[in-house]
Amino acid sequence: MTELEKAMKETAEAAIGMLKKSQMSLDFSAPNPHDHHKEYTRVNQSGTVSNIKAKGAPHPLQAEADKHRAEAARYDAEAKEHEKGTNHPNPTSARYSLRLQHEKEGMARHHKDKAEEIENQIAADKPAAKEVKPNANAIHEHYPWGRLTKVEGKGIRAVLHPEHQEAIGKLQDGDSTRFKDEQGIDWTAKRNGEHVELKAPSRVSGTALRVKHSDVAAEEADVSYDPQPGDDAPLKNPQERYESAKHQALLDGVHKVGNDLLQNPLMAKHHEEIKTMLGQLKANPHPKHAAAVASQLKDMAAASKPSKNAAKDLKAELESDDFGMTEKGGNGRVRMGKDGTVSVYDSYFTGGDAALDKHIKNWSPGGTYHNYFKDKGYNIEVTGTDKEHDSKVFGVKQGRLGHVAVHLKVIKP
């Protein structure tokens, strides 16, 4: 053996000895030891074993939830196969297929409930998102030509004129706009959720002023009205307009809101009504009358705004005091599905088929609930139904109460 080979052998033996004396060793026994998003085991020198979860690793319970989802899908498929047999001309065979269908449906519901229970646990284990708070203040000043807003914080100030606020008001989440304020500073305004971040890279690198979007968005026309002494007195001339700047601003604001609504295609069915109201306001510009018209137009404007989540809006309305579909109210239940649908439940003691038919009818075109919410701008479609003799939704003892449900797809343009 040459001296070089002898030296290499001694070096290798020394390295192996050092590795054995190391304070810890890693056992990459996973199928892919190079996948750093998997969980691996660390064995300390003392013999203590600890599991280390790398960033991005799935929740330990996720595999179990996926298994239940797969089982639910399997039983659903089998139930559909048995459902075909319920049309068998032999009554005995039909009854047997129906019994198997119900058994499979029950198993599918069981696995769906288990999967949902585990997924709720996984969601509860997730760390809460860090709350983002504004770091600047929006100070408003009102002038005859509009509202001036100063955003101040971190030793700097951005000055927003009405046209800047209008551009910011149109921003959706993730959108941005650029402008130069009266100080000559170039600003970039970016919408992040309910906040807007204002940056001036050329002026203060890396500094951002964060305020609520609603604080710097274009101001809606001021159609408020504070009664003044003498406002109840009739006008000597119906065409007479008060000299008061406040009264003039009120009238201008009402007409602006009305004309904006006339340009809104979602308000087409109210156009004639709005035109009539504006015409009557010109004939009688009394402050009290103007305030009444303003109130009606504001309600119309609110109804014309697109909904960010129509399903959640419908759920909130059904759980309001008007409907009372809550655990406390007892008049039905409302649940949100992960696919964005709304499930509306009603209870029954006997006659489940009749109760389901009535429930479907109420939520289908021409039905009571369907027509009511259609008038409020909702487009509702029944995409599924179910009936359960022993209701888990209403939380009563087995055999005492059943439920029927419709699953709704909800849109509100």
Q: Are residue 208 and residue 297 in the same domain, yes or no?
A: no
In which order are the strands placed within the sheet that holds 39-44? 24-27, 39-44, 49-53
From residue 355, alpha-carbon distances to 50, 326, 348, 383, 388 in Å are: 56, 19, 7, 18, 11
Three-state secondary structure of 254-266: HHHHHHHHHCCHH
Residue 4 pLDDT level (bands cut at 50, 70, 90): low
Domain boundary among the residues 123, 157, 176 is at: 123
Judged against a pLDDT cut of 90, whether residue 227 lies above it is answered with no
Judged against a pLDDT cut of 50, whether residue 232 lies above it is answered with no
Q: Are residue 281 and residue 371 in the same domain, yes or no?
A: no
Q: Which carries the bigger pLDDT value, residue 41 or residue 177?
A: 177
Q: Are residue 72 and residue 114 in the same domain, yes or no?
A: yes
The pairing of beta strand 402-411 with beta strand 342-348? antiparallel
Determine the pLDDT at residue 387.
93
Q: Are residue 66 and residue 104 in the same domain, yes or no?
A: yes
Q: Are residue 315 and residue 402 in the same domain, yes or no?
A: yes
Task: Tell me if 236 is assigned to some domain.
Answer: no
Determine the pLDDT at residue 204.
53
Alpha helices (H) in 62-90, listed in sequence order: 62-85
Domain, as residue range, for 15: 3-53
Percent of the chain with pLDDT over 70: 73
Judged against a pLDDT cut of 80, whether residue 10 lies above it is answered with no
Radius of gyration of the chain (CA): 33
Residues 197, 189: Cα–Cα separation, whole Å: 6
Per the DSSP assignment, residues forming a β-bridge with 403 are: 347, 388
Judged against a pLDDT cut of 80, whether residue 113 lies above it is answered with yes
- How many other β-carbons are positioned within 10 Å of the β-carbon of residue 158? 25
Q: What is the pLDDT of residues 22-41, one digit of tens each?
A: 434 444 344 443 443 444 44
Task: Tell me if 239 is assigned to some domain.
Answer: no
Q: What is the pLDDT of residues 135-167, one digit of tens each?
A: 889 988 876 567 788 999 877 888 998 888 988
Q: Are residue 93 and residue 18 in the same domain, yes or no?
A: no
Q: Taking residues 62-83, report their average pLDDT.
A: 89
Task: Tell me if 75 is assigned to some domain.
Answer: yes
Task: Tell me if 230 is assigned to some domain.
Answer: no
CA 122 to the chain's CA centroid: 20
The overall average pLDDT reported for the chain is 77
Determine the pLDDT at residue 42.
44
Task: Tell me if 240 is assigned to some domain.
Answer: no
Q: What is the pLDDT of residues 340-377, one digit of tens each?
A: 899 999 988 888 899 999 999 999 999 999 998 888 77
Q: Taking residues 259-274, report their average pLDDT.
A: 81
Task: Tell me if 128 is assigned to some domain.
Answer: no
Residues 348, 126: Cα–Cα separation, whole Å: 38
Minimum mean pLDDT range among 66-70, 85-89, 345-349: 85-89
Determine the pLDDT at residue 265.
72
Residues 190, 183: Cα–Cα separation, whole Å: 20
Residues 156, 200: Cα–Cα separation, whole Å: 10
Structural domain count of the chain: 5
Phi-psi region at 184: left, alpha or beta (left = phi > 0; alpha = psi -120 to 50): left
Kind and range of the H or E element at 354?
A: helix 352-363
Where does 174-279 show beta strands of DSSP type E?
176-180, 186-192, 195-199, 208-212
3-state helix, strand and coil shares in percent for the chain, rounded to the nearest 5: 40, 20, 35
Task: Tell me if 191 is assigned to some domain.
Answer: yes
Determine the pLDDT at residue 52.
42
Q: What is the pLDDT of residues 36-65, one digit of tens each?
A: 344 444 444 444 444 444 455 778 888 898
Q: What is the pTM of this model?
A: 0.33
Residue 112 CB partners (closer than 8 Å, separation 6+): 68, 69, 72
Residue 271 pLDDT level (bands cut at 50, 70, 90): confident
Q: Write phi, then psi, for 172 (nearest 5 degrees).
A: -95, 170
Minimum mean pLDDT range among 64-73, 226-235, 272-281, 377-386: 226-235
Determine the pLDDT at residue 134.
87
The gap between the terminal CA atoms of the chain, to the nearest Å, is: 86
Task: Tell me if 232 is assigned to some domain.
Answer: no
Q: Are residue 46 and residue 72 in the same domain, yes or no?
A: no
Q: Are residue 66 and residue 114 in the same domain, yes or no?
A: yes
Domain boundary among the residues 304, 330, 351 is at: 304
Q: What is the pLDDT of residues 326-339, one digit of tens each?
A: 877 777 899 998 88
Determine the pLDDT at residue 61.
86
Q: What is the pLDDT of residues 291-302, one digit of tens each?
A: 888 888 877 776
Q: Are 290 and 281 in contact (CB under 8 A)?
A: yes
Q: Are residue 146 and residue 160 in the same domain, yes or no?
A: yes
Nearest CA among 377, 404, 269 for reference residue 317: 377
Q: Are residue 403 and residue 322 in the same domain, yes or no?
A: yes
